Amino acid sequence: MENRILGLHHITAIAGNANRNLAFYTQVLGLRLVKKTVNFDDPTTYHFYFGNEEGTPGTILTFFPWERISKGTNGSGLATHIGYSVPKGSLEFWKNRLQEFHVDFEEGEIFGEKLISFQDPDGLQLQFIESSTADDRKPWVTDDIKDENGLKGFHNITLTLKNAAPTIKVLTDIFGYDLQKKEGDRYRFATNAIETANIVDIIENDEIQSGKNAAGTNHHVAFRVKDEEVLMEFREKVVAAGLNITTKIDRDYFYSLYFREPGGILFEIATDNPGFTVDEPLDELGTNLKLPKQHEPLRSRIEEVLPKLS
């Protein structure tokens, strides 16, 4: 792997009820709960990581489920749509499954790729897309959802902006993405550094209302790099572009930098190392409550106040 942005690392969103969130993503969509931990800044709130067997970068959707949070509003200045890659021919399966669980959906097509679009219980906008490019990632399988239908990982993330130009400059000049296509108010950018989870779509529309970041919206989008050395190279690039960026932060399973791109969306750059098996074996991922080191002395108190998971 080169010293480049390697597509998407993870996407983090905000939810309400923790049990409802957990049930939807594991039981309805068939993702693996890869890590059950807490918010670094608010350890009375869970941080769930959902993905494939190993929690491979490019498959991980994470949530902060704040129990009493208000409902957010999707709109300008947010990452508004999360696109998952699904196997060719599997959309019929997913339409039937969503109907079974009383989830409304719409059928559509973007840049020639068939998709269904729907919302999770909090209103987060999801899209299942039959990718036009090969995707050999192995999905997590369950009793109900097998290889031929399982979610392979991210296909794309869609950013909605009033003015796309400054954000495009970050994607192209700093992150190394190239414009692939444009239709109407939608741009598609991709990096050839990796073959999957490598697409960023931008919708530019100055008439769309500004979004409100709360339940049912995306908190931030994390882009992937190989290791800490590359991470810090990108920090220098962001600083040179005149943007404010954090120092390196240890998130236990990866190292991170955070900055707001000019359109207001929170971007993260995150490393592959050390990964999710650093504190529990592969076959036990997601089964134990793992706490950041600084919160471990408060374990009994934290366990007492966290919502009980059924």
pLDDT at 286 over 80: yes
Handedness of CA 91, 92, 97, 100 (dihedral sign): positive
Q: Look at residue 310 in the predicted model and tell me its pLDDT.
A: 87
Calculate the CA dihedral of residues 269, 158, 110, 207 and round it to 10 degrees: -150
Count of structural domains, the chain = 1
pTM over the 0.95 mark: yes
> Taking residues 38-56, what's their average pLDDT?
97
pLDDT-derived band of residue 38, with 50, 70 and 90 as boundaries? very high
Q: What is the largest CA-CA distance in the chain?
A: 54
pLDDT at 2 over 80: no
- DSSP lists the bridge partners of residue 115 as 108, 129
Q: Is 286 left (phi over 0), alpha (psi -120 to 50) or beta?
A: left
> Taking residues 30-37, what's their average pLDDT?
98
Residue 3 within any structural domain of the chain = no
Assigned token pair, 223: 């882009």
Residue 65 within any structural domain of the chain = yes
What are 174-198's pLDDT values in tens digits?
999 999 999 999 999 999 999 999 9
pLDDT at 234 over 80: yes
Which are the contacts of 111, defined by CB distance < 8 A and separation ≥ 6? 132, 181, 183, 186, 188
Residue 275 within any structural domain of the chain = yes
Average pLDDT over the chain, rounded to an integer: 97
Selected residue with higher pLDDT from 172 and 2? 172
What are 208-225's pLDDT values in tens digits?
999 999 999 999 999 999
Q: Look at residue 283 in the predicted model and tell me its pLDDT.
A: 97
Residue 310 within any structural domain of the chain = no
Q: Look at residue 149 in the predicted model and tell me its pLDDT.
A: 98
Cβ–Cβ contacts within 10 Å for residue 143, how many? 6
Cβ–Cβ contacts within 10 Å for residue 107, how many? 10
The domain that contains 201 carries what CATH number?
A: 3.10.180.10
Residue 185 within any structural domain of the chain = yes
Q: Look at residue 292 in the predicted model and tell me its pLDDT.
A: 96
pLDDT-derived band of residue 1, with 50, 70 and 90 as boundaries? low
Percentage of residues of the chain with pLDDT beyond 90: 99
What are 66-87's pLDDT values in tens digits?
999 999 999 999 999 999 999 9
Structural domain for 107, as ranges: 8-305
pLDDT at 301 over 70: yes
